[in-house]
């Protein structure tokens, strides 16, 4: 079997079109959703993510308030900027790009963001609400994975999903969303990580594999059941002298071999990646609606 490729770019285009028309309706009421974006330092991957986020905001009519701060920025300065954005009624969402430089306490910064403006869904208040199944801002990459499955016609109810990776940004939240007693959930979830013994034993039993290890070739063809759905969250830069920029992007899955066994698979790039930014836009529009009593 050769897998059908899930076109994350197209799903993202569809959702962004829906959001653009919502933003236009809000504009008629004089409401412009605003996103505060903070990048500290010069990490090349973070710079390109942040630029893509700002561009995407502009394309659908979200106002973005961009702050690029030098790597030596003090934690107090960053906290003061977050506090200003917390109080600014024009800002509905605040995004502090991670990772932060080592001298800044990441959890102190995330905790300082008003949970009602936490469009990344990283504040412990939103994490807790998500775990107990209350309405919350859902973190963008895992929410994007759930939307990709849903819009590709994959029903997770009763399925065995194996998540590979236990990060706070992807593995833990996606596992949690999948066990919720609601549409897009109701799955049986196994969460594997670096201390899992015999990863392949688990992944071979999966109806759906979500690879979020952050390491190329974590999931190879021998680890995949015939007909499984494979979602690759990884974005890894590997050296490639044939490319002008000197590298290419690969996921966590051995795509070429695994696509011969899977029924559905996401590519890298063009799979989960475009969904992350899309769900950030979604959360920002939701936040603007909530701030104006529209639901």
The minimum distance between CB 246 and ligand GUN, in angstroms, equals 22
Nearer to ligand GUN by Cβ, of 95 and 175: the residue is: 95
- DSSP annotation of 217: T
Is 97 noted as a catalytic residue in this protein? Answer: yes
Q: Nearest Cα to 66, choosing from 87, 51, 46?
A: 51
The minimum distance between CB 11 and ligand GUN, in angstroms, equals 17
The minimum distance between CB 141 and ligand GUN, in angstroms, equals 6
The footprint of ligand GUN (CB under 6 A) covers 95-98, 120, 140-141, 169, 276
Q: Residue with CB nearest ligand GUN?
A: 98
Q: Which long-range contacts (CB under 8 A, 24 or more apart) does 129-138 make?
A: 130/173, 130/176, 130/177, 131/176, 133/180, 133/181, 133/182, 137/283, 137/286, 137/287, 138/173, 138/177, 138/279, 138/283
Spot the catalytic one: 118, 120, 207, 254: 120
Q: Nearest Cα to 154, choosing from 184, 190, 174?
A: 184
Is 120 noted as a catalytic residue in this protein? Answer: yes
Q: Which residues contact residue 16 at a Cβ distance below 8 angstroms, ignoring those fewer than 6 apart?
A: 56, 59, 60, 278, 281
Nearer to ligand GUN by Cβ, of 203 and 218: the residue is: 218
Spot the catalytic one: 43, 47, 74, 97: 97
Looking from the CA of 291 toward its CB, the CA atoms found within 13 Å total 25
Helix (H, G, I), strand (E, B) or coil at 226: coil
Nearer to ligand GUN by Cβ, of 200 and 216: the residue is: 216
The minimum distance between CB 82 and ligand GUN, in angstroms, equals 12
Distance CA 213, CA 73 (A): 30
Nearer to ligand GUN by Cβ, of 26 and 140: the residue is: 140
The minimum distance between CB 50 and ligand GUN, in angstroms, equals 9
Nearer to ligand GUN by Cβ, of 53 and 202: the residue is: 53
Phi, psi angles (nearest 5°) of residue 103 = -80, -5
How many C-beta neighbours within 10 Å does residue 80 have? 12
Distance CA 198, CA 191 (A): 13
Is 129 noted as a catalytic residue in this protein? Answer: no
Nearer to ligand GUN by Cβ, of 96 and 164: the residue is: 96
The minimum distance between CB 85 and ligand GUN, in angstroms, equals 14
Distance CA 264, CA 153 (A): 10
Catalytic residue IDs: 53, 97, 120
């Amino acid at each position: 079997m050769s897998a059908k490729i899930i076109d994350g770019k197209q799903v993202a285009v569809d959702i962004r079109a829906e959001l653009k028309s919502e933003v236009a309706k809000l504009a008629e009421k004089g409401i412009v959703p605003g996103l505060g974006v903070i990048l500290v330092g010069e990490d090349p991957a973070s710079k390109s993510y942040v630029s893509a986020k700002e561009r995407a905001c502009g394309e659908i009519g979200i106002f973005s308030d961009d702050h690029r701060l030098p790597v030596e920025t003090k934690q107090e300065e960053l906290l003061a900027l977050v506090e200003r954005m917390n109080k600014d009624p024009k800002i509905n969402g605040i995004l502090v790009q991670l990772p932060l430089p080592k001298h800044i306490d990441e959890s102190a910064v995330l905790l300082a963001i008003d949970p009602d403006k936490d469009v990344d869904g990283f504040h412990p208040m939103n994490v807790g609400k998500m775990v107990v199944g209350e309405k919350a801002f859902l973190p963008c990459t895992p929410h994007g994975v759930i939307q990709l499955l849903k819009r590709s016609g994959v029903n997770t109810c009763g399925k065995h999903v194996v998540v590979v990776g236990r990060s706070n940004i992807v593995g833990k939240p996606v596992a949690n969303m999948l066990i919720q007693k609601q549409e897009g959930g109701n799955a049986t979830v196994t969460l594997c990580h670096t201390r899992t013994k015999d990863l392949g034993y688990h992944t071979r039993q999966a109806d759906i594999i979500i690879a979020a290890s952050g390491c190329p070739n974590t999931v190879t063809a021998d680890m995949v059941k015939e007909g499984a759905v494979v979602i690759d969250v990884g974005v890894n830069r590997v050296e490639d002298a044939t490319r002008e920029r000197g590298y290419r992007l690969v996921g966590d899955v051995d795509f070429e071999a695994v696509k011969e066994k899977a029924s559905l698979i996401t590519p890298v790039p063009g799979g989960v990646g475009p969904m992350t930014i899309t769900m950030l836009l979604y959360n920002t529009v939701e936040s603007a609606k909530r701030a104006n009593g529209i639901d």
